[in-house]
Chain A
């Protein structure tokens, strides 16, 4: 799943560095992801993983790193 998340960030996150140079915990916003790019990442994740992030998850902290995104997706998939 990590690779799929990274592929989406690479395509839509508009980072100022290559996502592969960042660890799973690295702050994506610090790496240059704007809130607009963040929205595109969310949309692409919803499409790729066939899920919808509820409003309670639409917060900066939920999308701030690869690890945080993975945790959010896993939580939604577990809820099924």
Chain B
């Protein structure tokens, strides 16, 4: 019986992954260059994900979703990123938000109903964590949520809100109360209809241009029980940080495999012209595959590991331990460096055909996209955190 269920589950997973691959191939890929050039939202692919109910993939089954874990979501991000990194990153960021609600809503009836609605109507959630005054420090806020009676008000000056103008709802970090310390934060769900957004800058970047992530002044209000019941410190360490690093790493892995895929095609085309001789840069391809395989394996293993920890007793303690924080930070730093290195080597291996923007082997977009990896949560910040944690961590 359980084997049957397991097989049925695997078949479903394979079917879903095939659907994501199709959306990537048919919609995300063909529009990727235009999305990149115009720095516009990849609406064709996101609309298709919405139509095929992928925006509720991480919602628990009993609330209308598919209950996908990180391993499955990571595979989807990898698949999308091979065609359009911006689409993959939007998909990843959305599910980080959904999981943060689903895993930390406690007994809140309002939040449960919200997830049911999200499953039905396929809402897209954007994240509002950065802020003028603290920059990208996730664990500090200037803005505070003010609760009065059954309502809240929250005003925040955010430096980057990815796809903010295209989201249905927002998940915002803020100090728990006006008199709370900067790190005593809450996570607040705000509906777009009850929120005024004033764009404060542009988004003309080197890469990841389709994520459309300018700054916004956010003025939100709503019901007091849209504030998640658990402290943000817990949500961050057990869900938001690991989900972010695991799904982002999956996106970067997808970018790296797209780049290697192009080199592969270019070298094969060359080999077909002169059967019997191995093209000299086939050696570079072999080298690239070593790096790509290592990256894929370490990211996928970390995703599976997270799902395993969540299913085991003591998940809360393991995920909120310093040891796990160091591990997940290491994965992010290593993967972001390795993905950028792979794409750079792919450019060299592909030669002039990879350097040209109007060639089928063009590496430009991948190269520009992948360089966001070291910056989104700066590697230096993570290394500084690890340096501090390693002073007390015994690794025993």
Instruction: List chain A positions with a Cβ less than 8 A from chain B.
Output: 15-16, 29-36, 39, 42-43, 46, 52-56, 58-61
Do the beta carbons of B180 and A46 come within 8 Å of each other? no
The complex places the Cα of A29 from the Cα of B322 at a distance, in Å, of 15
Do the beta carbons of A32 and B320 come within 8 Å of each other? no
- A selection of 25 A-B contacts at a CB cut-off of 8 Å is A29-B184, A30-B176, A30-B184, A30-B231, A31-B181, A32-B181, A32-B182, A32-B183, A33-B183, A34-B139, A34-B183, A35-B183, A39-B391, A42-B392, A52-B394, A54-B394, A54-B396, A55-B322, A55-B393, A58-B322, A58-B392, A58-B393, A59-B320, A59-B321, A60-B237
Do the beta carbons of A60 and B320 come within 8 Å of each other? yes
The complex places the Cα of A52 from the Cα of B139 at a distance, in Å, of 27
Residue B395 interfacial (CB < 8 Å): yes
The complex places the Cα of A52 from the Cα of B394 at a distance, in Å, of 9
Q: Mark B212-240, 1 if CB is under 8 A from A, else 0.
A: 00000000000000000001011001000
**Residues of B265-310 whose CB lies within 8 A of A:** none
Do the beta carbons of B396 and A59 come within 8 Å of each other? no
The complex places the Cα of A36 from the Cα of B385 at a distance, in Å, of 7
Instruction: Give the contacting residue for A16; candidates B181, B389, B396; CB below 8 A.
Output: B181
Residue B205 interfacial (CB < 8 Å): no
Q: Which residues of B contact A32 (CB under 8 A)?
A: 181-184
Q: Which residues of A contact B237 (CB under 8 A)?
A: 60
Query: 12 new A-B pairs (CB below 8 Å) besides A33-B183, A36-B385, A59-B322?
Result: A29-B233, A35-B183, A36-B388, A39-B389, A43-B391, A53-B392, A54-B396, A55-B322, A55-B396, A56-B317, A58-B393, A60-B237
- Chain B, interface size: which category? 20 to 34
Residue B323 interfacial (CB < 8 Å): yes
Q: What 10 A-B pairs have minimum CB-CB distances, sorted nearest first? A: A32-B181, A58-B322, A16-B181, A42-B392, A30-B184, A39-B388, A55-B323, A34-B183, A59-B321, A55-B396
Do the beta carbons of B394 and A55 come within 8 Å of each other? yes
Chain A nearest CB from B231 CB (Å) reads 8
The complex places the Cα of A35 from the Cα of B241 at a distance, in Å, of 14
Chain B nearest CB from A43 CB (Å) reads 6
Residue among B140, B180, B394 with most chain A CB within 10 A: B394
A-B contact count (CB 8 A): 61
Q: Which residues of B contact A29 (CB under 8 A)?
A: 183-184, 231, 233
Chain A nearest CB from B87 CB (Å) reads 34
Whose C-beta in chain B lies nearest to the C-beta of A31?
B181
Q: Which residues of B contact A33 (CB under 8 A)?
A: 183
Chain B nearest CB from A10 CB (Å) reads 16
Chain A nearest CB from B304 CB (Å) reads 22
Q: Which residues of B contact A39 (CB under 8 A)?
A: 388-389, 391-392
Q: Which residues of A contact B183 (CB under 8 A)?
A: 29, 32-35
Q: Which residues of A contact B139 (CB under 8 A)?
A: 34-35
Instruction: Give the contacting residue for B323; candidates A16, A58, A60; CB below 8 A.
Output: A58
Do the beta carbons of A60 and B388 come within 8 Å of each other? no
**Residues of B378-396 whose CB lies within 8 A of A:** 385, 388-389, 391-396
Q: Say whether, besides A42-B392, A52-B394, A53-B392, A58 and B184 are in contact (CB < 8 Å).
A: no
Q: Say whether, besides A34-B183, A39-B388, A60 and B233 are in contact (CB < 8 Å).
A: yes
Instruction: Give the contacting residue for B392; candidates A16, A30, A43; CB below 8 A.
Output: A43
**Residues of B351-396 whose CB lies within 8 A of A:** 385, 388-389, 391-396
Whose C-beta in chain B lies nearest to the C-beta of A60?
B320
Q: Which residues of A contact B321 (CB under 8 A)?
A: 55-56, 58-59
Q: Which residues of A contact B182 (CB under 8 A)?
A: 32
The complex places the Cα of A22 from the Cα of B314 at a distance, in Å, of 30
Chain A nearest CB from B71 CB (Å) reads 25
Q: Mark B316-328, 1 if CB is under 8 A from A, else 0.
A: 0100111100000
Q: Which residues of B contact A42 (CB under 8 A)?
A: 392
The complex places the Cα of A22 from the Cα of B184 at a distance, in Å, of 16
